[in-house]
Amino acid sequence: MKRVKLVFGTSNSQPVGTNEEELERVYQRAYKPFIRTLYNFAEVPITLHYSGTLFQWLENNHAEFLDVLAEMGGRRQIEFLGGGFYEPVLPMIPHTDRIGQIEQMTTFVRKRFGRRPRGTWITQLVWEPSLPSALKNSGMEYTFLADYHFISAGLAQDALYRPCITEDQGKTVVVFPICKRTRWKLMIESPEEVIEHLRALADDDPQSVVVMLEEGERFGAGEESYRICYREQWLERFLTLVGENGDWLEPIHPGRYLKQVTPRRRAYFPATSYEDMMRWARPVARRKAGHGSSRAGEHAYAHARNGFVSGGFFRQFLTRYPESNLMYAKMQYTHILVNQIRGDKYRKQAAREELWKGQSHHAYWHGRPGGIYVNQLRKQVYSALIEAEKVTREKGIFIPSIVAVDFDMDGVLEYLYQGQEMNAYVHTHGGTLFELDYLPVAFNYLDTLSRRVEAYHDNEVVGYGYDRYLRKAFVDHFFSPGLTVDQFARMQHRELGSFVDAVYTVEKHDREHHWIQLQSSGTVEREPGRIAGADDAAVELGVESATEQPVRLEKHYSFNAAEVTVQYRITTTGEPLKTTFACEINISVADAADGTLLIACTSDAEDAHDIPLELASVDRCSEVRLYDELNRTVITLAASQEARLWSIPVETYAMSDDRVKAQFQQLSCVYHWDITLSPDEAWEATVRLRCDRF
């Protein structure tokens, strides 16, 4: 008689930083009723994966739930899967951290449920060919990949229901294919239709197995899925039918399967993930071409069958979103610092725990859940990495200094000030400050995000504008004097200078006295009507002869405690030049709603007055104070020369849970001065940034 085996279960996780209310809601609507239903079907084996952070939350808030899981595991109903404890994308983290995170999960499961896992869940199914050796070295014998991986590896259609062996460095693991077409029938079609679909897959091959591992949140977290799954008892009816069809349908644990069947086929899988992830990683132009197509997945499968991998792979998110690469660079740099700890295993363990928290994958990429666009997720990553770095600094031994290192792996040295109260990182591209860690609250105030084109943006979103550069601190602009704050906010302006994207030269730096001297020699365009020597007729006709004026811009960074001071010096040669110079400083906070960010502005002639958190232009301002109520921190920006100030809340529009949502990212503060440059004199000003607790 034709038969088929069934591996059925869920993978359950929540992003690090998810608020308590949301965790409780998903628990009550999805996790708890799912297990409550399964509890009454002891004869149906179930395969479960929970992330380490979710296990921790359950342990602290619903220990009784874990007790029930332990009981079901004791009667051999549940087989637990391991994985990276903090849900890292395994290929993205150092090899020792891969093994360490898997072993931490293994230890938790063994201690809490009495048996160690032999199989592992791959976060987001992101695969690279070097993983088998790491998995095997961690004691893992099998894992799961999407059937798309199998197709991409050139395997035939019948291989989509049979596991195979893969290898790296002589270490082998078994890989089970997850059948997308089958698992997506869950709660879309009736239980009877799903059973009939499984019956059609039965054959005489004892290796035949259908793997239906689904996100646990799909079983009830949404209103519609909760109605279908529990009010209409879809899950209960399905499990009943599984039991009633035992003559041809055998529910089984993957570990039990491998005791009965020894896979013989071998395959090597390319660096890939499931097909949706592959499309998200594509360049925007290619994603737009396929966006909204109901047959996009079929196209991906067709390409894979022909030997082509459709789309990109996970690491391309690091190039699509430079902010993701900066987080990745911070993680890699922190890994080096943590592994330099010697002679204090407890301190090293504490630092490593924070490092691993900062490797949680959610903030590093963008897909349907929002990812990098969700401000709070990035803040959690940086907070953990900063805490890890703080632990590495041995009291009484650590000395503040400036370190020159290729931090972001772009082939150019960056200059990292590491102090007792603050980290401040300078990039020669644009001469900008790109990270500002205020250590007392473990917070990066330059965790900003630029507005970028996404395939799903409509004309309304396009009208808000896209950024042409990274919104960091001490970005140097030259503008037309008539430019408005609204035009700048929508990026409807022309840069008259060449300095936003210029590569600055580090003339010298003093690591012990904490200063860096940078300079860039570029040009500034002179607008018609401001050209020295131009006659009235030429001005009236807009003639722009000799409009580019050579300009030298020098920036002197100095660091002290929790303060950054930048001294500007601008000179020119040739004819006099009238222009508008602007210094842009972006400050990111976790939230800007309900009074969590307050702004006060002071001029030379007036006391401080509040500025609303909206698009604003202030004619005279010398000092701005930003009150971060969540961290109880005030960030002070002070200019030596009174200037006009633009205050611009920057929001991005990104897909999250199938809806495009606005998300506050940072406040852009732009000082700008009308200046006249003569060949025999220099324009100078100083801008200071300071962090304090209040």
Q: How far is CA 496 from CA 76, 115, 372, 527, 641, in A?
A: 71, 67, 32, 9, 22
Domain with CATH 3.20.110.20 in the chain: 4-146+161-256
Cα gap 567→556, rounded to integer Å: 5
Round the average pLDDT of the chain to a whole number and report it. Answer: 92
477-502 average pLDDT score: 95
**Distances, alpha carbon 155 to alpha carbons 126, 263, 265, in Å:** 19, 14, 10
Residue 361 near residue 87 (C-beta atoms within 8 A): yes
User: How many CA atoms within 13 Å lie on the side-chain side of 641?
Assistant: 18
For the stretch 580-622, pLDDT in tens is: 999 999 999 998 887 899 999 999 888 889 999 999 999 999 9
CA–centroid distance for 357 within its chain: 13
pLDDT for the residue 300: 47
pLDDT in tens, 10-58: 999 999 888 899 999 999 999 999 999 999 999 999 999 999 999 999 9
CA distance 552 to 548: 13
* Among 334, 389, 327, 344, CA closest to 97: 334
Helix (H) or strand (E) holding 322: helix 322-338
Domain with CATH 2.70.98.10 in the chain: 459-693
106: left (phi over 0), alpha (psi -120 to 50) or beta: alpha
pLDDT digits (tens, 9 = 90+) for 507-526: 999 999 999 999 999 999 98
Q: How far apart are CA 514 and CA 370, in angstroms?
A: 39
* Architecture of the 4-146+161-256 domain: Alpha-Beta Barrel (3.20)
For 50-87, write each residue's pLDDT tens digit. Answer: 999 999 999 999 999 999 999 999 999 999 999 999 99
pLDDT band at 543 (very low <50, low <70, confident <90, very high): very low
Q: Give the pLDDT score at 278.
A: 85
d(CA 124, CA 272): 10
**How far apart, in whole angstroms, are the C-alpha atoms of residue 478 and residue 579?**
7
Which residues, other chains included, contact 687 with Cβ-Cβ below 8 Å and sequence gap of 6+? 474, 565, 566, 568, 583, 585, 637, 638, 639, 640, 671
The dihedral over CA atoms of 299, 302, 307, 309, expressed in degrees to the nearest 10, equals 20
Amino acid in position 693: R
The alpha carbon of residue 28 and the mean position of all alpha carbons in its chain are separated, in whole angstroms, by 28
What pLDDT, on the 0 to 100 scale, is given for residue 295? 46
Rg of the chain over all Cα atoms, to the nearest angstrom: 29
Work out the average pLDDT over 564-592: 94
At 193 the three-state DSSP class reads: helix
The CATH architecture one would assign to domain 459-693 is Distorted Sandwich (2.70)
CA distance 443 to 389: 12
* pLDDT at residue 168 tops 60: yes
